[in-house]
A and B are shown apart, each in its own frame.
Chain A
């Protein structure tokens, strides 16, 4: 665990920079993390982020397949919005813990 300050707010992150406490997240923070990733967040990005946070709250394991079937974006669009490892990038920007991939 490490403590960091993003957008002037103290947050707790794991060693890979994923949120440990999703309740510490807000939209300002999302913009700040996205900037590090050189992504400028649009309304479409936030639709995906809201979907991801909603699924996390419902304890649903996230996969690229599920996001592709979400009705929010298809997989191609998901990659366009969050290039190179969209699930990991979007999860970090959405302020949820790293999606667990099954062994």
Chain B
């Protein structure tokens, strides 16, 4: 019996086991290894502080999404030993052998990377909203916060869901307006990038929206440390941004196990072929989702499109064929803008987000890089799609794996 092992049962790993368990040829079995029993709906972390979702909306049990035929080990991996095709497990002398390995270990926040972040003010005045604990702590803090300087901050790129900080800023504006205290809150958006977003057209559009919502923008700010005593962000070139409440995105890094195995770059992300999803170092190791070093967004939609490519490529690999399927970097993200509206962006390695309609040329009904109510309903409906279609490996109708240019305004109007 040959063994295909998947490390990680988050979004990417769960999609892969559901795609592969029916397609693998006879003589293969799948083993999923993940020590954490809870599968969080991560897009919900952003919504919790603003009361759009409640705690119970944010998680389910991982075991309910792993097919019965697959072996599921709830243990932590100590390290991967590619030379022996083996995985050493923690707290147990036993090893697991693999014939093909999929790394789907995601990314985590690392507040310890910035001096003073994980310190006296942590979860008192300094919060993340990229973890369940952080989002929950921030929710509690916002309930009684009386206003002041709110700073929405990105530490360094790359981060998971790069639009989330902008959404956080937009939703804050809306939230405090609804509470009747917007005049007591000064919102500042602080980013290491040179604009509101990374690519020219969306950066211009989103920068304009920050303006309209009276959110100040501080760009090119690379944080060195947080001064806990004076409540200030301090940059490497000694610029300062004072805050009363800091909602930050700490440095994102890959799993520590990747570092223990010597398979990662300086942020523990695994160097991966951007088209085939095979690891650069070992042909029998494939990588999916946030764990890769691919130059595209770290996002559930990316993992979803990758899972369709990777399924075909793994079947080709075990049949001794060439890896034909090619990932284009496709990402598709809703951007909540507050007041019951959202934007949609759709892009890949080569095509930046532009205006247009989605998914049908000339019809939509979703709009790209433009706010409307339907986009917002789309985002709320997405939670159902996530649990009932994506995680079960079912094809989402009308959404193609590769990015389509139809319906997009490719030239600036």
A-to-B contact residues, CB < 8 Å: 61, 63-66, 69, 75-76, 78-79, 83-85, 88, 100-103
Contact = CB atoms under 8 A, between A and B. Distances in A.
B266 A64 contact: no
Main secondary structure of the interface of A (DSSP, over half): loop
B162 A65 contact: no
B296 A102 contact: yes
Interface in B170-207: 192-194, 197-199
Nearest first, the 8 closest Cβ-Cβ pairs linking A and B are A102-B158, A79-B237, A79-B236, A103-B198, A85-B220, A103-B297, A75-B236, A102-B295
Given A64-B222, A85-B194, A88-B194, A103 B347 contact: yes
Interface of B: 156-158, 162, 192-194, 197-199, 220, 222, 224, 236-237, 266-267, 295-297, 331, 347
Contacts of A78: 236
Given A63-B157, A103-B198, A103-B331, 4 more contacts: A75-B222, A75-B236, A79-B237, A102-B158
A78 B199 CA distance: 25
Contacts of A76: 224, 236
A101 B193 contact: yes
A84 B157 CA distance: 18
Contacts of A65: 156, 266-267
Contacts, number: 45
Contacts of B156: 63-65
A103 B237 contact: no
A71 to B, nearest CB: 12
Nearest to B163: A103
Contact of A102 (B157, B222, B224): B157
Contacts of B197: 103
B236 A69 contact: no
A84 B193 CA distance: 12
A101 B197 CA distance: 10
A75 B194 contact: no
Nearest to B202: A103
B297 A102 contact: yes
A103 B296 contact: yes
Nearest to A76: B236
Nearest to B295: A102
A98 B224 CA distance: 23
A61 B295 contact: yes
A59 to B, nearest CB: 11
Contacts of B296: 102-103
A75 B222 CA distance: 10
A94 to B, nearest CB: 18
A102 B237 contact: no
A35 to B, nearest CB: 21
A52 to B, nearest CB: 16
A64 B235 CA distance: 13
Contacts of A101: 157, 193, 198
